[in-house]
Amino acid sequence: MTDWEQRYRTGDTPWEKGTAHPAPVAWLAQNPLTGRILVPGCGSGHDVRALAVTGAEVVGFDLAPSAVEAARRFPPIGRETYVCGDLFAPPENWTGTFDGIFEHTCFCAISPDRRTDYAAAVAKLLKSAGRLLAIFYLDPGHDGDGPPYGCSLDELETLFSPHFRLIEEQENLPTFPGREGREILRELAKR
């Protein structure tokens, strides 16, 4: 199991690009998310701040205390907050309270044997008909063990279809160098 706190403390964070992922920034320009939004595995909070620009109340959530501390060092953009905790054991009062969840780096970082738990956890946190906007790594570009762990479209369907229905899917996303053609953006609605 990866020690995320240790990785942040030592600066071993190649996923930290210093800016929000380009795909949701482009998507949000046309489809702003509103209400209360959760960003699991928020790291330094770049995606959180990109969402906060839209006026949403955004909660960045990360397992590593050092990641949350790093996120809090940035000046606030809007109504964003950061909480340290485990997605598989979130605060009880969060059940059914989020209008949306933005996924970018959490799903690919967890062990594939926890993915069914992940799908159930995010569904539990969303309100009825809440939305999951996710960038999934189909091919992380390495043959060895992750993280990040890749996934197939079939796997995504199997994992998420019990809880969600697909609204939109985009390939060939604007992305970080080296990730071209390896990611897919999916917007899902809770059933």
Q: Report the C-alpha gap between 188 and 46 in whole angstroms.
A: 22
Count Cα atoms within 13 angstroms, Cβ side, for 145: 5
Residue 145: the pLDDT is 76
| 57-62, strands of its sheet edge to edge | 79-84, 57-62, 36-40, 98-103, 126-137, 183-190, 164-170
SS3 154: helix
Q: Report the C-alpha gap between 42 and 8 in whole angstroms.
A: 12
Amino acid identity at 10: T
Q: What is the per-residue pLDDT across 162-178, written as a single tens digit (0 to 9) for each?
A: 999 999 999 999 999 98
Token representation of residue 13: 């964070």
Q: What is the per-residue pLDDT across 105-161, written as a single tens digit (0 to 9) for each?
A: 899 999 999 999 999 999 999 999 899 999 999 987 776 678 999 999 999 999 999
Pick the CATH number of 18-190 from 3.40.50.150, 3.30.43.10, 3.10.450.50, 3.90.1200.10: 3.40.50.150
Residue 87: the pLDDT is 97
Mean pLDDT within 48-59 = 94
Alpha helices in 14-152 (DSSP H): 22-30, 46-52, 65-72, 115-125
Residue 143: the pLDDT is 64
In the chain, what are the domain boundaries? 18-190
Q: What is the per-residue pLDDT across 1-51, written as a single tens digit (0 to 9) for each?
A: 789 999 999 999 988 999 999 988 888 888 878 899 999 999 999 999 999
Alpha helices in 38-182 (DSSP H): 46-52, 65-72, 115-125, 153-160
Residue 190: the pLDDT is 98
